[in-house]
Every structure is written in structure tokens, then in C-alpha cells.
A and B are shown apart, each in its own frame.
Chain A
């Protein structure tokens, strides 16, 4: 991990923070500068390990990304309803409350997370005059472009409208829909998702999250030097500085 490398590098400063041997002219500059660098290195290493910082990083950025992605897909769906109608409830394309998709955050050990998506089950009745059927997996089936076989379950035969005509199917016969949702829906959401997360839109979203501002103010607070490093001293305790760094990070970012 990066924090371990930083701590290892900073450990080379420890001998310089000790009091010089007898006979050498006493000068606090070397030990003070070493203590300053040692403290800052440990603050940065602590930040990378700090759970409070990780939580803030994950939640602030993810919440903004989730919001912006949803709004982007809503606007895109309103402009391109034929491509994205399947990820909304029937006749409610582009409505926030009718979305059939949801982003998920997958946390990782390091300071990063993955964003995946899921399709939600549809709850509204499918289109048509006799709206009695709920096409639960509408979004996932249409997105995958899976052909559908529709067969009568309780009725004797299928009756439906096609191009203005009422079609009566033979008793028990089924119908296969090769492209449910139309020709434009297959992988349309996946492409929009890929575009959002590979284009400048994701960068804009991260910027908009305000995380940078929060990070800057917290890190400035954590990096504020403890009073005793500013004082003329010939010896600094590595353990003491490490503990001070830990406390400063916990106070700035939360435990």
C-alpha cells in the first residue's frame, strides 16, 4: 500500500530527530525539519488508512455520481425514448420516480470503489388495452434483447392488437417476440452507462461533489503543525509524532 511506502520512507528521518552526539555543535534545525517531514508523512499515511476519510470519499463522490448519472439517463431517455423506454415504467420515460435501474457501489480495500448497475423489477401493468400483466423483468430482458415467448396461461388463446387489427391466435398457440422493446433498446442502457463513466461527465460529477473542497479544508486542519515541533528542540519522539498525527487525522476526518 502507498501509506506503507510513505511510512517506510519517513522512518529514515528518525535518526535525524534524535539529539546529536556529544561534541557536535547543537543545532535544532535538522531535527525540527526532520520532525516536520516525519509528522506530515504520517498524517498523509494516516489519511489513506483512515476509515472516516474513506467513508467520506466513498459517500460524497458516489452520492453525486449516482445523482448525476440518473439525471443524465433521464434526459437522454426523454430525447431518445425508443432506446431507453425499457429502463422506466410503462409510459413514464425519463421520470425519476419511474426508473428501473439503480447504481450500486462496491467498496474496495483501497481508496476506490466500483460502480455497477442493476435493473429493478417493473411494477406497473404492461401496455395494452387489457392491462393485467406485469412484465416484471422488462428492463433486463429488453436490454439483453432476449426473444420472448408469450403463451396463454389462464386464457384459452392469445388475443392482441397488431397494426390496428385484433389478432386471435389459435387455441393454446404462443407468440415469439424477437426484439422485445424494439430494435433500438438492446444494450442501449449499457452504452449510455459506459459513455457516462468513460467520458468527461464522470469527471464533472466528481468535481461537482465538492469532495476536493472538503478534503482541502480537512487536510489543512490535519497538517497544522503541533506546537512542540515549532518550538526549538533537539530531540523529537517518533512515537509521540505518530500519535499526534493519528489524533490530528481522526479529529479532521473523523475516526
Chain B
């Protein structure tokens, strides 16, 4: 039974795909870049490539990887194939923080809204955790319910904030709800990437324990896993990276839910392999979706979340039909 290539072959294939995707995404954009002129030192061409296009492509990949990693982690921790990174109140908390801070007028000060969104995301997850905690045990079902309820609560707050604010502020809050990679800076790329690397290191450390959770918490405990500690650290890691991603680019849907299933359908692996494979898969999906959103209408940009669905769903459905 060939076991040695459990990770190597899929990882190699996805890495190749990612490199191709990144190359194409950097080569194509709203403006036609003449490579000789970039080489020759044309200021504008260089600015477009190095300050606008390249950071954006890399940010798209980093965000995609983050969301897919968070998605597969939540699905594993909650033992629920329908979990996505936003399910535990992250989306509600971030959007609420963004909506409330813009409604209060802080949208004019750069940096405030992303910070509040991040704080909102982390705060919401912590709240969900505390709500679901009972005698130092957090039951996955209670977590899911608390997350659902909290998301619903945040949605109402956002609706109220919307109706009370001026229509111009709506645009600002919509940015969080729809998600966009506009205006990506090297700072945001660095921030998201370093958090992702840290988060993945933590999750890789826990990977062996996390995959055992698939059989149930009691079973995992009997196999020597410190279940409560693994859950706490796993949730914290996944929530923090998601919070940062949402703070930077808003809520980009489908990636966290879809990519883990896509990877699982193609290569049946456990969490240890899923972690890096989902990161690669998520990076590919969002980089491609962002490319489409940038070039389909000349000079204009469409919501990236629409394309993650348009790209991912048909692929997913065809895999589902072929699988069984």
C-alpha cells in the first residue's frame, strides 16, 4: 500500500497550480503592462506592478489560504461538514464592529475600522466560547448554536446601524459585507501572511490530535488527546487568523466552506495533510477569483465573493457527481 506519497504528490501539484495562478494574476490586470517598460524603469508601470498589482495578488492568495485553513479547522473541531470560518460569530462580530464604527463616524480615520472589525471578530468568538462553556467543557453543538444566535444578533445590530446612518456610510459598511481586495498594501500582505504562518504552525503542532477528534471527543480522549486544550488552542488560532483576514478584506464567502470539501473529494486525507493542501487550494481559488473580478469589466471591479462561488461551485458539483 503506497503510503509515502500521502502529501508529496498533491502538495506538489497544488503548488505548481498556485505558481501558475500567481504568474497569470500578476501578468494580467486592468491595465496592460508592457514588460520591457517595467524593466526599463518606467515609474508608472513599476508603481502599478509593485505597489498595486503584486501586493494585491499576494494578499488574495494569503486571504484564500487563511480562510480555507480556518474552514477545515472549524469543520474538524466542530465535527460538522457545514462549518465555515464565519460560523462562530466572526463574520457578525467583524461586520458589526465595522458597521457601528462607520455609523459613529470613525470611518474617516484610516485604520480604525479594520482594527474595530478585528476586535469585533475576536470578541465575538470569545463570547461564543464563553456562552457554550459548561463545567470546563465546550460542547460542539452548543458552540454552533451560540455562534448562530450571535450572528443573528449582530445582523440585527447591523441593520439598525444601516437604517440610522447616511447613505454614504452604507458604502463603507458594505465593503465589509461583500469583501474586497482593493487597495492591498504590502503591510496588509505581511500582516495576514505572518499570522497565517503562525496559525498554521500551531495547527500543524496539533494536527495529529485534531484528526483524532473526527472520531468523537471521548474516543480522542481515550487515545491520549487533551481534548479541551486542543479545542481551545485550535479555535483561538483559527479565529484570530480569520479575524485578521476579515479586518483586511471583509467577508469573502464560500472559500472556507468549499475548499476543504473540494480537497477532500479529490484526495481523501486526514487533517494532517488537509491543512497544507487547503491552504494551497484556498490561495488558488481566491487569487483566481480576484483576477476575474479585476478583468471581466474593463477598469471596473466586481465583488470577489461572487467569483469564489462561480468558480468553486460548478467544480464542486462535478466532483460530487463523479465521487459516488
Q: Do A and B come from one complex?
A: no
